Structure 1
Amino acid sequence: MRRIAASVLLGAVALLSATACGAGSSILDKDVLVIGVKPDQPGLGMKKAEGQFAGFDVDVAGYIARKLGKNARFVAVPSSEREKALMNGSIDLVVATYSITPERKTKVAFGGPYYVAHQDTLVRAGESAVANVRDLKGRKLCQVTGSNSWRRVKEERKIAVELVEAASYSECMSDLKAGKVDAVSTDDLILAGFATSDMKIVNAPFTDERYGVGIKAGDLDGCEAVNKAITEMYLDGTAKKLLQEWFGKSGLALTFTVPQFEGCG
């Protein structure tokens, strides 16, 4: 009997502990949302000299927070740290050119997508031999730690590129200018922010990149609230306004309709 009583007691303690851990775990239970954004991607997420962040992703994140009735605190998050930060709870949401992939969905959940970008390639302005991604064969391609873009080229399309590691896309751009790499291939919105007179986008897109709002796995209510906010952002014209504000002069073919959501289940 003592063993049975002890087992019942341990079971009750475990149940109470699980309930306590689950309490307040949704973003809907918080007054302030800590949102991870990029600090070094022009047009998407840039940290200004005074410490504030600006860009399309930042504006989208701010809109979602307001629709949820929350204040937002933005923090910089590198590509390699996005899953870890969501899983350990140091960040509540990630809005940082975070493409939804099956592998990532095994670790975190996604609201959205809030936009569907397309992977393209950036080369130096004088480069005439690269007209599409297949022309990168034998060339040096920048590989950002934590990003999947290089995999689309080398692993999915089996193009024999030489990978050159970099910590961020801003570092990739410096390497491209310096001649350390021949090309940078990633989402067209990222490339549009970095494109200058001495660089050019090939304009030969070859993937759909579904930008999701990263959220801790299991927060179904929070995810559905995020999706509702994204829908409202498109229906009230805010999404179109923000896209035109940040990328209207880029020459990209922008999409202003609500993307098809992945589902929160």
Structure 2
Amino acid sequence: MRLHQVTAAAAAALALSLATTACGSDGDSDAEDAGRKITIGIKYDQPGIGLKTPDGKYTGFDVDVATYVAKQLGYKPEDIEWKEAKSADRETLLQRGDVDFIAASYSINPERMKKVDFAGPYLLAHQDVLVRADDKSITKPADLNDKRLCSVTGSTSAQNVKTKLAPKAQLQEYGGYSECLTGLENKVIDALTTDDSILAGYAAQPEHRGKFRLGGFKLSNENYGIGVQKGSELKAEINAALQKMVADGSWEKAVKKNFGPAGYQNEPAPKIGVVVS
């Protein structure tokens, strides 16, 4: 009889404990759902693409695309935690799980596809040059011969021009595109080369409008994709979000907003899964 009483009491206590735990678990789950966050990698230093402004805001085409995609995944803008994704760090950030996805002028290529997966592409950019608006001496790639051509240290863009198109170009390598732009404005250099989207982003800034023009040379194809971890289910969800962004006009609106002031002649929205070589 005594053993029965103890067992019954223990059973009652256990039932109460389980009920309490279950209630607490539901509450915790609701709290977690309400506080869900998504971490997205972007560039912090590319106006028109991905820029962290002095007041702590984030602007640019990649930011607009990432925000739209996050919304389709169920996240509000305030649920997004932005993380700087420098070019050299992108694969590592994804492989370590430091970010959920990366939208950072991230060109799809075979070498990168060995390490990460890509949704998209969502923009087809081209290597181009930026020159002063009043400079009529550069109208084709060959005109870069004997000109002072600038790009950032370690960039392949300027080397491509020098080795393939204008072997007599005087290559100048600076620490950042902003320095090249200052040199271009001050006539220390004659042309700046990198992706046309990046160039357009700089030229579209209020303080630069009307000072520069794009060459429109289309020296290469750069298929921007959204990077995710290898095998991630997010790839399919992001692709669906990108298709919706194009269909409802939000993609075109973001292009015009971020690049339009520079006279950027963008390509039509790429088809998902089609990489232009």
Name the TM tier (shorter chain): 0.7 to 0.9
- Structure with bigger gyration radius: 2
Look up the SS of the partner of 1:248 in the other structure. Answer: helix
Asked if 1:41 is matched to 2:46, the reply is: yes
**Counterpart residue number, 2:112:** 104
Name whichever of 189-198 and 56-65 sits farther off: 189-198
Q: Which has the higher helix share?
A: 2
**Structure 2 counterpart of 1:93, from 98, 101, 107:** 101
Q: Distance in 1 between matches of 2:112 and 2:221?
A: 16
CA deviation after TM superposition for structure 1 residue 59, in Å = 0.7
- For the aligned residue pairs, the C-alpha RMSD in angstroms reads 2.6
CA deviation after TM superposition for structure 1 residue 249, in Å = 3.3
In 2 relative to 1, CA 214–160 (structure 1 residues): closer, same or farther, beyond 3 Å? Answer: farther
Q: Distance in 1 between matches of 2:175 and 2:92?
A: 17
Asked if 1:129 is matched to 2:137, the reply is: yes
TM-score (norm 2): 0.73
AA partner of residue 112 (structure 2): R
CA deviation after TM superposition for structure 1 residue 225, in Å = 1.6
CA deviation after TM superposition for structure 1 residue 97, in Å = 1.3
| Structure 1 unmatched runs, 5+ | 1-29
TM-score (norm 1): 0.76
Residues matched between the structures, number: 233
**Counterpart residue number, 1:212:** 225
Q: Distance in 2 between matches of 1:114 and 1:46?
A: 19
AA partner of residue 243 (structure 1): V
Q: Distance in 2 between matches of 1:210 and 1:154?
A: 22
**Contact 2:239/2:272 (CA < 8 Å) preserved in 1?**
no
Q: How does 1:67-78 map to 2 (within 5 A)?
A: 67-70=72-75, 71-78=79-86
Identity of aligned residues (%): 38
| Structure 2 unmatched runs, 5+ | 1-34
In 2 relative to 1, CA 38–260 (structure 1 residues): closer, same or farther, beyond 3 Å? Answer: same
**Contact 2:144/2:166 (CA < 8 Å) preserved in 1?**
no
Deviation per CA, 1:90-129: give whole Å up to 9, x if none.
Answer: 3332211111122322332211111112222112334332
**Counterpart residue number, 1:198:** 211
AA partner of residue 147 (structure 2): R
Asked if 1:252 is matched to 2:264, the reply is: yes
Deviation per CA, 1:23-75: give whole Å up to 9, x if none.
Answer: xxxxxxx9433222222222222212221101111010111111122432112
CA deviation after TM superposition for structure 1 residue 228, in Å = 1.3
**Contact 2:132/2:185 (CA < 8 Å) preserved in 1?**
yes
**Counterpart residue number, 2:184:** 176
Asked if 1:120 is matched to 2:128, the reply is: yes
AA partner of residue 110 (structure 1): F
CA deviation after TM superposition for structure 1 residue 145, in Å = 4.7
**Counterpart residue number, 2:15:** none
**Structure 1 counterpart of 2:90, from 73, 78, 82:** 82
Asked if 1:237 is matched to 2:244, the reply is: no
**Contact 1:231/1:258 (CA < 8 Å) preserved in 2?**
no
**Counterpart residue number, 1:14:** none
In 2 relative to 1, CA 158–253 (structure 1 residues): closer, same or farther, beyond 3 Å? Answer: closer
CA deviation after TM superposition for structure 1 residue 239, in Å = 0.7
Q: Distance in 1 between matches of 2:115 and 2:219?
A: 26
